[in-house]
Structure 1
Amino acid sequence: MLEVNQLRLSRQGDEFCYDLTCQPGQVVALLGQSGCGKSTLLAMIAGFETASGVLLWQGRSILELPVAKRPVSSLFQQHNLFEHLTVQQNLALGINGRLKLNRHEQAHIAKVAEQLGISQWLASYPGALSGGQIQRAALARALLRQRPILLLDEPFSALDPVLRADCLTLVRNLASEHQLAVLLVTHQFSDACAIADEVAFIEQGRVIQQCPPQELQTNPANAQVAQFLAIADKGVFPSKDCS
């Protein structure tokens, strides 16, 4: 289990302090207004921001580990695929930075590529792919790193609704199959309804409510949560009933 207890950061006069849990195989969606601290929480877990407090994975502290040693893979809105490398070479970077793979590793890439539906584009360069194909390739590279915690910072927000829904469903299935602890930053409550086991609502650098999406709808912690959901229901954030 991923355990975040009083994980703290002070930055330019802003104070962040988080409490959150995420089980293997579980998807927790991080909701809240822009600037509330959702991405900051992911950066603290990944090690991109220096934090104090408690950060445990399976009961062991990972707070002092450098970024490369943490059991974490991150996927952002900017996919960061290398344009001069083929998709297969980009995926290989998830296993070995020297791009020299043995037969077992090559077979692993082929299996993950097939699972994510990108086998036919392995010889292509990222510039020849659509947005949805690129994000699938970036997700495949993250999986090939074989880290049990997957942090997703709105990686599908630029996709059209159908492609976004497909990618979200894929994440849900991958979390279950690979027993990944997934934290997903999103502005869309509909995303949480679609795939999240729980929602962590963040306000001013703190998690003020963590619960299933249905409970957030029926029993919001405060007026700010209720207002956020009311705006979503009016269509500013596409939403659907979680009941």
Structure 2
Amino acid sequence: MKPDSKMDSLYLDENSIRLAGRTLLCLSATVRPGDILTVMGLSGSGKSAMLADLGGFHDPVFTGSGRIVIDGRDITGVAAEKRQAGMLLQDPLLFPHLSVGGNLLFGLAASIRKRDQRRRMAEQALADVELGGFFDRDPATLSGGRKARVALQRVMLSAPRYLLLDEPFSKLDTTLREQTRALIFSRAKSAGLPIILVTHDGTDVEAAEGQVVTIGEETDR
């Protein structure tokens, strides 16, 4: 696959995931800034393993191959911390030993050193998702929807180059799912991020309004 003139797109070139010598999926795609590629398939079909591979967090149980290009740069084989991939999972995975604000500060680049500037950025990020005044709150006191918003803002403060979504709405009730999904899609699109969403829910597909790839129903467990 040859990249086009959109140098800030995400390109997947025959990215495959194999288990015990068996190919679970193979994907080639171009995801432009603000666009969403949705990958559908049953649980255990290799979707999450693919996202982990794209983020650089490769599970040694699986074997991955292919090329990953972002901003015109081939990042295949680049360490996870240097890929700048933003990931949102089924669980928000907020650090329980940190406050809500502490979780956001964790996402900020170390190059932003001034403490007052870091605090202002974190507080503004909370205000942007209607969580103003929550900086010192314990994450354990938050509802599922609020935890999802904190997790989103932590990712966005890390200045990702592309966003990987592994069913981040699946544990929310219908109303919260719709609200959180709309928020995440809106933030990511306005930031011009290429987005890959893994899901098995048709309402996610409809809301994403983008390319859809359906993979086989064979299981990897």
Length-normalised TM-score, structure 2: 0.85
User: Of the candidates 169, 175, 189, which is equivalent to residue 202 of structure 2?
Assistant: 189
> 1:185-207: per-residue Cα shift (whole Å, max 9, x none)?
111111111233222222268xx
2:90 & 2:201 partners in 1: Cα distance? 15
Residue 91 (1) aligns with residue 91 (2): no
Q: Secondary structure at the match of 1:120?
A: coil
1:224 corresponds to which residue?
none
Equivalent AA in structure 2 for residue 31 of structure 1: M
Q: Secondary structure at the match of 1:82?
A: coil
Give, in angstroms, the shift of residue 82 of structure 1: 1.2
Residue 157 (1) aligns with residue 170 (2): yes
Q: Is the 8 A contact 1:92 1:101 kept in 2?
A: no
1:28 & 1:158 partners in 2: Cα distance? 21
Measured at CA, do residues 204 and 66 of structure 1 come closer, stay the same or move farther in structure 2, by a change above 3 Å?
Answer: farther
Tell which deviates more after alignment, 166-175 or 106-115. 106-115
Residue 34 (1) aligns with residue 43 (2): yes
> 1:44-94: per-residue Cα shift (whole Å, max 9, x none)?
111112632211112210112101000201111122111121100011000
Structure with higher RCO (Cα < 8 A, 6+ apart): 2
User: Which runs of 4 or more aligned residues in structure 1 lie more than 4 Å from their structure 2 counterparts after TM superposition?
Assistant: none
2:97 & 2:71 partners in 1: Cα distance? 38
Q: Is the 8 A contact 2:170 2:177 kept in 1?
A: yes
Q: Secondary structure at the match of 1:185?
A: strand
> 1:18-65: per-residue Cα shift (whole Å, max 9, x none)?
212211111222212222221122111111126322111122101121
1:24 corresponds to which residue?
33
1:13 corresponds to which residue?
21
Q: Is the 8 A contact 1:28 1:184 kept in 2?
A: yes
2:52 corresponds to which residue?
43
Q: Is the 8 A contact 1:9 1:51 kept in 2?
A: yes
1:13 & 1:64 partners in 2: Cα distance? 20
1:2 corresponds to which residue?
10
Give, in angstroms, the shift of residue 14 of structure 1: 2.6
2:131 & 2:36 partners in 1: Cα distance? 23
Q: Among the aligned pairs, what percent are the same residue?
A: 33
User: Of the candidates 180, 191, 194, which is equivalent to residue 193 of structure 2?
Assistant: 180
Q: Secondary structure at the match of 1:25?
A: coil
Alignment of 1:112-131 (within 5 A): 112-131=125-144
- The number of residues matched between the two structures is 205
Residue 105 (1) aligns with residue 118 (2): yes
Q: Secondary structure at the match of 1:167?
A: helix
| Long gaps (5+) in structure 2 | 1-8
Q: Is the 8 A contact 1:169 1:195 kept in 2?
A: no
1:204 & 1:71 partners in 2: Cα distance? 31
1:117 & 1:202 partners in 2: Cα distance? 37
1:144 corresponds to which residue?
157
1:107 & 1:126 partners in 2: Cα distance? 19
Q: Secondary structure at the match of 2:108?
A: coil
Q: Secondary structure at the match of 2:104?
A: helix
Q: Secondary structure at the match of 2:133?
A: helix
RMSD: 2.1
Give, in angstroms, the shift of residue 142 of structure 1: 0.7
